[in-house]
Amino acid sequence: MELTQVCAAGVEGVDGYPVTVEVSRATPGRGVGRTTMVGLPDVAVRESIDRVTTALFAGGFSHSPSDHLVVNLAPADRRKEGPAFDLAIALGLLATVPENGVRLPASCLFAAELALDGSLRPVRGVLAMAQAAREAGCTRIMVAPEDADEAALMEDIIVHAPENLRQAVLWLQNGLAKAPRVARRDLDEGAPADHLDLSDVRGQDQAKRALTIAAAGGHNLLFIGPPGSGKTMLARRLPGILPPLSHEQALEVTRIHSVAGLHDGRRGLHRQRPFRAPHHSVSAVGLVGGGSTPRPGEVSLAHHGVIFLDELPEFPRRVLEHLRQPLEDGQLTISRAAGRLRFPSRCMLVAAMNPCPCGYLGHPVRACVDSADAIHRYRAHISGPLLDRIDCHLEVPAQPPEQVHAARPGPSSEEVRAQVRAARQGMLDRQGCANGDLVGRALQRHASPDQAGRELLHQAINELGLSHRAHDRILRVSRTIADLERSPSISIDHVSEAIGYRLLDRSSL
Ligand SMILES: Nc1ncnc2c1ncn2[C@@H]1O[C@H](COP(=O)(O)OP(=O)(O)OP(=O)(O)O)[C@@H](O)[C@H]1O
Ligand SMILES: [Mg+2]
For a substitution probing ligand 1, which of 229, 231, 234, 395 has the most ligand atoms within 8 Å of its CB?
229
Q: Which ligand is nearest to the CA of 353?
A: 1
For residues 193 and 171, what is the distance between their CA atoms, to the nearest angstrom? 40
pLDDT band, very low/low/confident/very high, at 184 (cuts 50, 70, 90): confident
For residue 224 and ligand 1, the question of a CB distance below 6 A is answered with: no
What is the 378 CA–ligand 1 centroid distance (Å)?
22
Q: Which amino acid is located at 283 in the chain?
A: S
What is the 317 CA–ligand 2 centroid distance (Å)?
19
For a substitution probing ligand 1, which of 233, 236, 395 has the most ligand atoms within 8 Å of its CB?
233
Residue 357's closest CA among 341, 340, 342, 370?
Answer: 370
- Tell me which DSSP letter residue 304 carries: T
- pLDDT number for residue 243: 94
For residue 197 and ligand 1, the question of a CB distance below 6 A is answered with: no
Neighbours of 374 (CB within 10 A): 14
Span 314-336, average pLDDT: 89
- Does position 95 have pLDDT exceeding 80, yes or no? yes
For residues 426 and 433, what is the distance between their CA atoms, to the nearest angstrom? 10
Between 232 and 26, residue with greater pLDDT? 232
Share of the chain above pLDDT 90, in %: 65
Residues surrounding ion ligand 2 at CB below 5 Å: 232
Average pLDDT score over the chain = 90
Instruction: Give, using CA atoms, the residue closest to atom 7 of ligand 1.
Output: 230
- pLDDT number for residue 195: 74
The CA R_g of the chain, rounded to the nearest whole Å, is 28
Domain annotation for the chain: domains and CATH numbers: 2-178 (3.30.230.10), 198-437 (3.40.50.300), 438-509 (no CATH)
Residue 375's closest CA among 394, 360, 392?
Answer: 360
- Does position 509 have pLDDT exceeding 60, yes or no? no
- pLDDT number for residue 294: 84
For residue 300 and ligand 1, the question of a CB distance below 6 A is answered with: no
- Does position 190 have pLDDT exceeding 60, yes or no? no
Cα–Cα distances in Å, from 285 out to 11, 334, 336? Answer: 18, 12, 16
Q: Crossing angle, helix 468-484 and helix 451-464, to 10 degrees?
A: 140
- pLDDT number for residue 442: 95
Instruction: Give, using CA atoms, the residue closest to atom 8 of ligand 1.
Output: 230
pLDDT-wise least confident of 41-45, 207-211, 238-242 = 41-45
| Cβ(100)–Cβ(131) below 8 Å | no
DSSP assignment of 317-348 equals HHHHHTTHHHHHHSEEEEEETTEEEEEE---E
Q: Which amino acid is located at 377 in the chain?
A: R
| Adjacency order of strands within the sheet including 35-38 | 35-38, 68-74, 15-26, 2-12, 108-111, 140-143, 158-160
Cα–Cα distances in Å, from 374 out to 56, 351, 383? Answer: 66, 21, 16
Span 454-464, average pLDDT: 93
Between 41 and 470, residue with greater pLDDT? 470
pLDDT-wise least confident of 31-45, 141-155, 420-434, 465-479 = 31-45
